[in-house]
Chain A
Amino acid sequence: GESVGLHLPTLSVQEGDNSIINCAYSNSASDYFIWYKQESGKGPQFIIDIRSNMDKRQGQRVTVLLNKTVKHLSLQIAATQPGDSAVYFCAETSGGANNLFFGTGTRLTVIP
């Protein structure tokens, strides 16, 4: 089946630095992507989404970049804070699909 994967299972960054979390997807029909953050002991929390007609979308301290040519998605977190420590999942779906397909996650650790 199609897969949604992550390049790096773990990422450690210094507080204040920028973080980049990557995600590769293989379904060329995917047209909607979401990043979720999951803190320890909690359910996933929506961060930001992007549709395939865009290649960049910005939120508060976060930016999602979409490269459809190489089927790659990234989440950039500016000025990473200790509260950003969590597992980050990308998820994708295609028009008309009834569910999201989640990647396996990247654990981000922020070093104070």
Chain B
Amino acid sequence: EAQVTQNPRYLITVTGKKLTVTCSQNMNHEYMSWYRQDPGLGLRQIYYSMNVEVTDKGDVPEGYKVSRKEKRNFPLILESPSPNQTSLYFCASSRRQIGEAFFGQGTRLTVV
């Protein structure tokens, strides 16, 4: 089954404690991206990757890092989480830069 898998689904952490949200896709897609979803603001892109070792900032990259060492994985790293990073995060992958994107189930992060 074609899917994008994120882990964990839910996470509560404290300010400043580094965390990683993993994302893996099994569709051999080149393009992957991370979004955050906040009430009234819709989905905003954090980072994207057009292929292995090729990543770039989206609209709201501050406070986040990503890496793309393998085609299937695109982890999102928060080196020093802050409460304003409390949000619902989605990873997505697609065959092309634009077009039908497959989204993961989401990770609800709370930073206290």
Contacts of B50 in A (CB 8 A): 98
Closest to A4 in B: B42
Within 8 A of A (CB), among B42-61: 42-45, 48, 50, 56, 58-59
Check if A98 sits within 8 Å of B48, measured CB to CB: yes
Tell which of B4, B33, B41 touches A104, judged by Cβ atoms closer than 8 Å. B41
B22 lies within 8 A of chain A by Cβ: no
Check if A99 sits within 8 Å of B104, measured CB to CB: no
Name the prevailing secondary structure of the B interface residues: strand
Within 8 A of B (CB), among A55-112: 89, 91, 93, 97-100, 102-105
Check if A97 sits within 8 Å of B90, measured CB to CB: no
Range of interface residues on B (Cβ < 8 Å): 20 to 34
Query: In the assembly, what is the distance between CA of A104 and CA of B44, in Å?
Result: 10
Closest to B33 in A: A99
Query: In the assembly, what is the distance between CA of A79 and CA of B80, in Å?
Result: 49
Range of interface residues on A (Cβ < 8 Å): 20 to 34
B-facing mask of A22-39, CB < 8 A → 1, else 0? 000000000010100000
Tell which of A46, A97, A98 touches B101, judged by Cβ atoms closer than 8 Å. A46
Query: In the assembly, what is the distance between CA of A41 and CA of B100, in Å?
Result: 20
Query: In the assembly, what is the distance between CA of A102 and CA of B58, in Å?
Result: 13
Contacts of A93 in B (CB 8 A): 98
Check if B44 sits within 8 Å of A102, measured CB to CB: yes
A42 and B45 in contact (CB under 8 A), knowing A98-B56, A100-B98? no
Given A43-B90, A46-B100: 20 more A-B contacts, CB < 8 Å: A34-B100, A41-B105, A41-B106, A42-B105, A43-B92, A43-B104, A44-B101, A46-B101, A46-B102, A49-B99, A98-B50, A98-B58, A98-B97, A99-B33, A99-B45, A100-B45, A102-B42, A102-B43, A103-B42, A104-B40
A-B contact pairs, 12 of them (CB 8 A): A43-B90, A43-B92, A43-B103, A44-B92, A44-B103, A46-B100, A46-B101, A49-B99, A98-B50, A99-B45, A99-B48, A100-B101
